Amino acid sequence: MDYTDKEIKRYFRNIFGFHIHHLDLFKVALIHRSMSVEHSIFGRVNNERLEYLGDAVLGAVMADFLFRKYPMESEGILTQMRSKLVNRSRLNMLARKLGLQDFVRIDGHVNSEYANGNAFEAVVGAIYLDQGYAKTQKILIKHIYL
């Protein structure tokens, strides 16, 4: 189902507590590669690039959070803890919990379980580009992981 711009903005405001500045980022974050759209300048557009960025931002936010919260833990323990917070299963669960699957544009023949977790990472990338690192960090810590 395609949602209107107003519905997408309302969803992100209600779930994450911010107003979108660049709606196109979020619209792209919700396009699985199976539903890629052609753009005259950018070619095939989907959420994979935003997913890449969101994965890196998510990892950095969680590493910083754990580093500060557990100052006496070893690198190995911190790495294990971060892995549990950002693994595919956890991201898929978060996407479902947030109702993100209702907004992801995906071909019905694709395994949407993984696509929703990937879309979550793409949304993190969009939030980062739209709101900046500090706001993204606050959103992930406050609204998602605590």
Catalytic residue among 48, 102, 121, 130: 121
Phi and psi for 35 in degrees, rounded to 5?
Answer: -120, 25
138 in helix, strand or coil?
A: helix
DSSP conformation letters of 66-108: HHHH-TTS-HHHHHHHHHHHHSHHHHHHHHHHTTGGGT-B--T
Is residue 121 among the annotated active site residues? yes
Catalytic residue chosen out of the listed positions 55, 64, 107, 113: 55
Report the C-alpha gap between 18 and 16 in whole angstroms: 6
Q: Return the active site residues.
A: 55, 121
